[in-house]
Structure 1
Amino acid sequence: MPSTELIRIVSRSSPMALAQVERVRTELVALRPGIRTEVVPVTTSGDRWMGDLSKLGGKGAFTKEVDAALLAGEADLAVHCIKDVPADRPLPQGTVFAAFLKRDDIRDALVHPEGLGLDDLPAGTRIGTSSVRRVAQLAISHPHLECVPMRGNANRRLDKLEAGDADALLLAVSGLERIEQTHRISEILSVETMCPPIGAGVLGLQCREDDTATIDAVAGLGDTNTWREVTAERMFLHVLQGHCNSPIAGYAKAERDGRLSLRARVFTPDGKTVLDAHEWAGPLDPATLGTSVAVALLRQGARELIDTIPH
């Protein structure tokens, strides 16, 4: 970092990503009033490409350019949606997460122009989503609905809904909160109906590991319970080694009394096979809990299920 007075923050250039940066800037100024911040926006290959993410190497398509700017010294801090950061491989060498901000809502929301709930939608209703996780779970709970591929940031998808490209959308509650579009929500789905993705609702702050000045400056923004939850979830996904076409869902929950649990599920794309595991940490540390839940699913056949899915 050039000095402790200026932190250059690199982020994707979408409206939601920039809104996330504003949250970080606001919290950082409150924590360290003397610090100035500057935004370094980048457009990632994942933002430009509207096709199948697997053709770009999966979720890493949303982070490669951000990582490159950080490693090149063009920025000091990167703000990521943790759900978009691959967990099946390590962070780029030379970088670390300095903090995970307090977790936002992990649930998904239905957006329907007439305000209908999921159970009220007639057969054949077109749900805009390219998430294999959402497609698999809708196939279980609402097989009469039709999923139509739709990518792009949340603002773009809302525009596509208005243009008639779909009849309804499934979007993250936290994302709609960040772009101030919660008035569009028709129904917030329970985690039993729509189990969230790993890292849902969490913003992570990534730095170069040798940049101790920036790490020290932002570490105080971190939330201990969120760190425990994300550590368990990402270790689970790392051990499972799922790819971007694998319908994998799960969330950890830190209770007020300190207990930590992790529930996770693996699906076939059509939802006809579901593997489920739910464990409490007890004396286990978060990473060990994540490993234990992954092993439980591997014993149920998760490796074979994941390997049969093209990617």
Structure 2
Amino acid sequence: MPQLIRIVTRSSPMALAQVDRVRALLAATHPRLVTEVVPVTTSGDRWLGALSALGGKGAFTKEVDAALLAGEADLAVHCLKDMPGDRPLPEGTAVAAYLPRDDIRDAVVQPAGLTLAELPAGSRIGTSSVRRIAQIAAAHPELECLPIRGNANSRLAKLDAGEYDALLLAVSGLERIGQAERITQVLDADAMCPPIGAGILALQCRADDSATVDAVSALNHASTWREAAAERMMLHALQGHCNSPIAGYAQAEPDGRLSLRARVFTLDGKRVLDAHEWAGALSPEELGMATALALLRQGARELIDGIPH
């Protein structure tokens, strides 16, 4: 009998598009394998208030994790940036593969085609990300960030309805839902440092499900795995919470060298801690720890703990 893999995912259009990508890759790698989709609506999808009221990013993953652990599904597809970094994966699960990394940058979507620098003072920017808010406050204090929740499609609808003057969204997310043509400006990663895990899809299985682990492991991208390992270790070592403006990205060079750039901000963007480390002989995890230590020496612990959550 062909092997069946049931894939659990959030039910948003972007999440379903991501699962379609995984299904296509599995079909190309294992032609006899059969997949089916198990959509769930998470508490993070239902809640339109601040994520801190739900315990942070785990609001987007706990129902998916529960379906996996209950045996209702065999594989979960996550945006790595939505997976909590201050605690380990749920016991009994493991990431079997990271897909090749997509664009890590943020994008501006503005109906009149304006860039951030061209927007008039007081323009309303839709974003609930403390990481984005801090960097906008530092670079464009004349602009006003207003909270916005919901999936990317619903946010675009709110922009079109005139509730905001511009949105900040992930380039990769807009590409995944076929809305890349709406991008007005792509922000360089040094100008708008991305979230940890940006552009990476993580494929999570039950650790003891060797058949699924073996099938999915064939999709793993080695360079992305190294980048993810460094970033996640750094985030874990910093023990940030959902209101912590922490940003960073690792970069694996073609010659094998690995670096990690990371920043920690105050909410108003007036203070920025910056670290940029190279692995050398260090493992990706050791690079992540070294980068975290560089930030902690600059006062990251006090900065993070001083932000209410």
Task: Give the alignment's TM-score, normalised by structure 1.
Answer: 0.99
From 38, 41, 60, give the equivalent of 1:40.
Answer: 38
Equivalent in the alignment of 1:299: 297
* TM-superposition CA deviations, 1:135-189 (whole Å, max 9, x none): 0000111110000000111001001111111100000000000000001100000
From 193, 196, 202, give the equivalent of 2:194.
Answer: 196
What one-letter code is carried by the residue in structure 2 that aligns with 1:164? G
Q: SS where residue 243 of structure 2 aligns?
A: coil
Distance 1:256 1:140 in 2: 33
Q: SS where residue 218 of structure 2 aligns?
A: helix
Q: SS where residue 174 of structure 1 aligns?
A: helix
* Residue 160 of structure 2 corresponds to residue 165 of structure 1: no
Distance 2:138 2:93 in 1: 39
Distance 1:260 1:283 in 2: 10
* Residue 65 of structure 2 corresponds to residue 59 of structure 1: no
RMSD of Structure 2 on Structure 1 (CA): 0.7
Equivalent in the alignment of 1:7: 5
Distance 2:212 2:67 in 1: 15
Equivalent in the alignment of 1:234: 232
From 129, 132, 140, give the equivalent of 1:131.
Answer: 129
* TM-superposition CA deviations, 1:91-122 (whole Å, max 9, x none): 00000000000000000000000111111111
What one-letter code is carried by the residue in structure 2 that aligns with 1:114? A
Equivalent in the alignment of 2:151: 153
8 Å Cα contact 1:4/1:214 also seen in 2:
no
Distance 2:274 2:305 in 1: 17
Distance 1:119 1:26 in 2: 40
The 5-angstrom pairing of residues 87-98 of structure 1 reads: 87-98=85-96
Equivalent in the alignment of 1:265: 263
Distance 1:174 1:64 in 2: 23
Q: SS where residue 104 of structure 2 aligns?
A: coil
From 108, 111, 128, give the equivalent of 1:110.
Answer: 108
* TM-superposition CA deviations, 1:195-237 (whole Å, max 9, x none): 0000000000000000000000010101000000000000000
* TM-superposition CA deviations, 1:256-291 (whole Å, max 9, x none): 000000000000000011000000000000000000
From 246, 251, 254, give the equivalent of 1:253.
Answer: 251
Paired residues, number: 309
Q: CA deviation at 1:193?
A: 1.0
Instruction: Give unmatched runs, 5+ long, in structure 2.
Output: none
Equivalent in the alignment of 1:30: 28
Task: Give the alignment's TM-score, normalised by structure 2.
Answer: 0.99
Instruction: Give unmatched runs, 5+ long, in structure 1.
Output: none
From 218, 221, 226, give the equivalent of 1:220.
Answer: 218
Equivalent in the alignment of 1:182: 180
8 Å Cα contact 1:11/1:78 also seen in 2:
yes
What one-letter code is carried by the residue in structure 1 that aligns with 2:226? R
Q: SS where residue 40 of structure 1 aligns?
A: strand
From 203, 206, 226, give the equivalent of 2:204.
Answer: 206
* TM-superposition CA deviations, 1:15-52 (whole Å, max 9, x none): 00000000000111011111010000000000000101
Equivalent in the alignment of 2:79: 81
What one-letter code is carried by the residue in structure 2 that aligns with 1:296? A
Distance 2:30 2:141 in 1: 51
What one-letter code is carried by the residue in structure 1 that aligns with 2:19? V
What one-letter code is carried by the residue in structure 1 that aligns with 2:207? E
Q: CA deviation at 1:5?
A: 1.4
Distance 1:251 1:165 in 2: 32
Distance 1:303 1:309 in 2: 10
* TM-superposition CA deviations, 1:229-248 (whole Å, max 9, x none): 00000000000000000000
Distance 1:95 1:211 in 2: 9
From 137, 140, 143, give the equivalent of 1:142.
Answer: 140
8 Å Cα contact 1:4/1:213 also seen in 2:
no
8 Å Cα contact 1:252/1:260 also seen in 2:
yes
What one-letter code is carried by the residue in structure 2 that aligns with 1:53? L
Cα 1:4/1:310, change in 2 over 3 Å? farther
